[in-house]
Amino acid sequence: MESLIPILLLALGFVALILGANWLVNGATSVGVRAKLSPLIIGLTIVAFGTSLPELIVNIFSCIKGSPGLAIGNIIGSNTMNILLILGVSSMIWPIDVSRVSIRRDIPAGFIATAAIALMANDFFMSKDATIDVNWMEGLALLLMGFAYLLLTMLKNNPEEETEDVQEAMPWGKTILSLIVGIAGLYIGGELVSNNAQILARNWGMSESTIGLTVVATATSLPELITSIVAALKKNSGIAIGNVLGSNILNIFIVLGISALITPLPFDPLMNKQLIILAVANFLMLLFVFTGKGRKLSRFEGALLTLGYVGFMWFSLAMQ
């Protein structure tokens, strides 16, 4: 019973985060349209970053409140869920075609991002003390790689392949209200999630990393899940896979980069096993793209990815 109220408050926090992110993105997109930004710029910055806002806000609040152990677990869990569960379910709804540009640019960037955080978390670059963490210099390096990826994406863009639909500009009053409500939702949601995740970790005898890998990662990935499922139902495979790949890259480069600038992010060496699973998930995604007919993820391959996520969750909880 003592965990019932924290669970309810945690759920309320996730709802506030998701709704807040949606309102903020709508308001910011309206501002972008009024500023005559191109659909590409809006899609790459405001819309793409919008689905990573819950992870970012949870990480920022956790770092500020002295629980940085949630940060890396949240991102590893979210990225693994994005590939195994979200791509898996989306592929089962409608086979996902993978564009050449995603194979040449986005999938390799995902491998590089995963390798970067694995090396940094294990102090491959800096090992001056006994503490295993991602420090502010490594966080800055992640941010620079993230900006380089966004710049490369903009430079290599083909306008004819641009499929992102951008909303029309809202009236100024509605735009400002959307921004204010969005910011308020993110703040309230961040407070509720960070506070109650700590309480549940203590009540259940679980580490912050495990809570981040499972409960927090699952909930903060709901925007990506909803976006990709809707895209799959509309048979728009470009948005379905682009949403997942872009979110995974931004989660590591931008979200973890900002988190590490706030405070060093401690890393439990036991989580190397989850990092290996994430690397394997990236490899399986690439392998499945080149098996069968065409460059696509079939329904059968989607089912295999989904089963892989069930195994990942079981393994993460069994390790606790």
Instruction: Tell me the per-residue pLDDT of 205-223, one tens digit each, with 9 for 90 and over.
Output: 877 788 888 888 887 887 7
pLDDT at 24: 82
Q: What is the pLDDT of residue 96?
A: 86
Given a cut of 50, the residues of the chain with pLDDT beneath it are 130, 159-164
Q: What percent of the chain has pLDDT over 90?
A: 30
What pLDDT, on a 0 to 100 scale, did the predictor assign at position 14? Answer: 87
What is the pLDDT, as a whole number, of residue 159? Answer: 47
The full set of domains in the chain, from first to last, is: 4-319 (1.20.1420.30)
- Is residue 219 within 8 Å of residue 89, measured between CB atoms? no
Amino acid 263: pLDDT: 92
